[in-house]
């Protein structure tokens, strides 16, 4: 045991559930609060018997009074399908949720980390994206509830630092994938794998030339923990992501190959404000955290495909 009491908001989600496993493994006491909007109790089912673990249904837009030492603030739906289903709640989650968790950190003196996103760069005009780039975000589009919500959350973190001297850490996470994404999550990796395993047409939005950089979840979690443990003077924001850049067409072809699927590829309309390209500049994470991803896309996809074979029974 480490004596450390750690709160993980959104811990029943995809990234959160992997993070909780790592924290328990190193001996922390872990409290998860989650409203199960896009996460599930089943993601944590195997941990419920652990006496160092506690799970509470709670919406972070409401105040929370607990005694803790560290907060990983992850609560927020991350898939466009989920965050656009109730966009006002998405903004409330990022803004009110961050205010409450910062208020909690202020009262308890806890160190607090924000799971921010590469979406703060919007449809980037600078490529690859360094942390110094201010981004190109549409403030009134369908993605804004998520993008602007996270941008405002970052503002709140830095203002609580300046005004109240809070120990903050801000991670800008790029597209992350792996086991425990929901089959209906809606993000591209889970969609392509589920469709391929079911032998259904693989849906590429637009012409498939848009790019993303995909980080395997274990690498990402190591980065989040490394950031929390970093020198107190280091607040970030820091990019966490894999620098391998792929078109959606390349991703679809790789998924078809690795699943041995006979699914055809079909094209559907490109959603509004879909970023055309994205790749992190991770020099800062390498320098300050000694961190970089080690899992190649093909290897990470193999492990993710294994998970989905069981999850969708294909
Ligand atoms: P996820 O949707 O699987 O997990 C989010 C969790 O937050 C879910 O369990 C959900 O139920 C919970 N939640 C949502 N609103 C809440 C509220 N108001 N109160 C309490 N709980 C709430 O998504 P994920 O991929 O695990 O993402 C986790 C975090 O990382 C999010 O903050 C997301 O913005 C950030 N992030 C993820 C990615 C990625 O590619 N996965 C990329 C950038 C940033
Ligand atoms: N808050 C919370 N838990 C705490 C302390 C505060 O949820 O342990 C919430 C509280 O409801 C408040 C918010 O965090 O609305 C911001 O707190 P802060 O102390 O910064 O502001 P104030 O209470 O002065 O508005
Ligand atoms: N995408 C796709 N088919 C799908 C789901 C997504 O072609 O079934 C595309 C989407 O338009 C985007 C990219 O894949 O260009 C990544 O989408 P995702 O929702 O995973 O993440 P984000 O756009 O938030 O980076």
Ligand 2 atom closest to Cα of 62?
Answer: 7
Find the helix packing angle between 297-311 and 188-198, rounded to 10°: 60
User: Which stretch of DSSP H or E encloses residue 34?
Assistant: strand 29-34
Reference 292, options 281, 301, 282, 300; nearest CA is 282
Q: Say yes or no to pLDDT of 1 above 80.
A: no
If you measure from the C-alpha of residue 99 to the centroid of ligand 2, how many angstroms do you get, rounded to a whole number? 7
Quick one: what percent of the chain has pLDDT higher than 90? Answer: 97
Dihedral sign, CA of 193, 196, 201, 206? positive
Q: Which of 59, 63, 77, 214 to mutate to test the pocket of ligand 1 (most atoms within 8 A of CB)?
A: 77
Dihedral sign, CA of 118, 122, 126, 132? negative
Q: Which of 10, 112, 212 to mutate to test the pocket of ligand 1 (most atoms within 8 A of CB)?
A: 10
Q: Which band of pLDDT confidence, cut at 50, 70 and 90, is reported for residue 311?
A: confident
Reference 232, options 288, 285, 283; nearest CA is 288
Cβ-count burial 81-110 (b if 16+ within 10 Å, e if not): ebbbeeeebbbbbbbbbbbbbbebbeebeb
Strands 211-212 and 168-173: unpaired
Task: Give the per-residue pLDDT at 132.
Answer: 98
Q: Say yes or no to pLDDT of 66 above 90.
A: yes
Cβ 16 under 6 angstroms from ligand 1:
yes
Query: 3-state DSSP call for residue 226?
Result: helix
188-210+244-282+295-311: what fold?
UDP-galactose 4-epimerase; domain 1 (3.90.25)
Average pLDDT over every residue of 233-246 = 98
Among residues 37, 82, 146, 160, the one annotated as catalytic is: 146
What Cα–Cα distance (Å) separates residue 53 from each residue in 20, 225, 251, 295? 9, 18, 37, 28
Q: Say yes or no to pLDDT of 215 above 70.
A: yes
- How many other CB atoms are there within 10 angstroms of residue 132's CB atom? 9
Q: What are phi and psi of 118, to 5 degrees?
A: -65, -15
5-177+216-243: what fold?
Rossmann fold (3.40.50)
Average pLDDT over every residue of 281-290 = 98
Q: Say yes or no to pLDDT of 314 above 80.
A: no
| Domain residue limits, the chain | 5-177+216-243, 188-210+244-282+295-311
Task: Give the per-residue pLDDT at 2.
Answer: 81
Residue 63 DSSP class:
-
146 is catalytic: yes
Closest residue to atom 22 of ligand 2, CA basis = 103
Per-chain mean pLDDT for the chain: 97
The set of residues, in sequence order, having a beta carbon less than 8 Å from that of 129 and lying 6+ positions away, is 118, 121, 239, 278, 279, 280, 281
CA–CA–CA angle 257, 261, 266 (5° rounding): 95
CA 296 from centre of chain: 18
Please tell me the distance from the alpha carbon of residue 25 to that of residue 4, in angstroms, as a whole number. Answer: 12
Give pLDDT tens digits for 28-57.
Answer: 999 999 999 999 999 999 999 999 999 999
Closest residue to atom 6 of ligand 1, CA basis = 10
Q: Say yes or no to pLDDT of 173 above 90.
A: yes
Q: What are phi and psi of 3, to 5 degrees?
A: 75, 0
Cβ 271 under 6 angstroms from ligand 3:
yes
């Amino acid at each position: 045991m480490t004596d450390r009491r750690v709160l993980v908001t959104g811990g029943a989600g995809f990234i959160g559930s992997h993070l909780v496993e790592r924290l328990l493994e190193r001996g922390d006491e872990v409290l998860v609060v989650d409203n199960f909007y896009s996460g599930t109790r089943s993601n944590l089912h195997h941990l419920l018997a652990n006496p160092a673990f506690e799970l509470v249904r709670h919406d972070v837009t409401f105040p929370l009074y607990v005694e803790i030492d560290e907060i990983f603030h992850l609560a927020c739906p991350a898939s466009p399908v989920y965050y656009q289903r109730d966009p006002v709640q998405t903004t409330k989650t990022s803004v009110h949720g961050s205010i409450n968790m910062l208020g909690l950190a202020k009262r308890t003196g806890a160190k607090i980390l924000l799971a921010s996103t590469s979406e703060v760069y919007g449809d980037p005009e600078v490529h690859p994206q360094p942390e110094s780039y201010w981004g190109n975000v549409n403030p009134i589009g369908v993605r804004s509830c998520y993008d602007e919500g996270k941008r405002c959350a970052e503002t709140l973190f830095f203002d609580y630092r300046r005004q109240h001297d809070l120990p903050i850490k801000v991670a800008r996470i790029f597209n992350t994938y792996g086991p425990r994404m929901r089959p209906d999550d809606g993000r591209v990796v889970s969609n392509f794998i589920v469709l391929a395993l079911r032998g259904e047409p693989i849906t590429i939005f637009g012409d498939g030339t848009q790019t993303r950089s995909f980080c395997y979840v274990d690498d990402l979690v190591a980065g989040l923990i490394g950031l929390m443990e970093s020198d107190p003077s280091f607040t970030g924001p820091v990019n966490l992501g894999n620098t391998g850049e792929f078109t959606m067409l390349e991703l679809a072809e790789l998924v078809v190959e690795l699943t041995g699927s006979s699914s055809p590829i079909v094209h559907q309309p490109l959603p509004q404000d879909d970023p055309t390209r994205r790749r992190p500049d991770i020099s800062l994470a390498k320098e300050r955290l000694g961190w970089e991803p080690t899992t190649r896309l093909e290897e990470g996809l193999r492990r993710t495909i294994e998970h989905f074979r069981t999850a969708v029974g294909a």
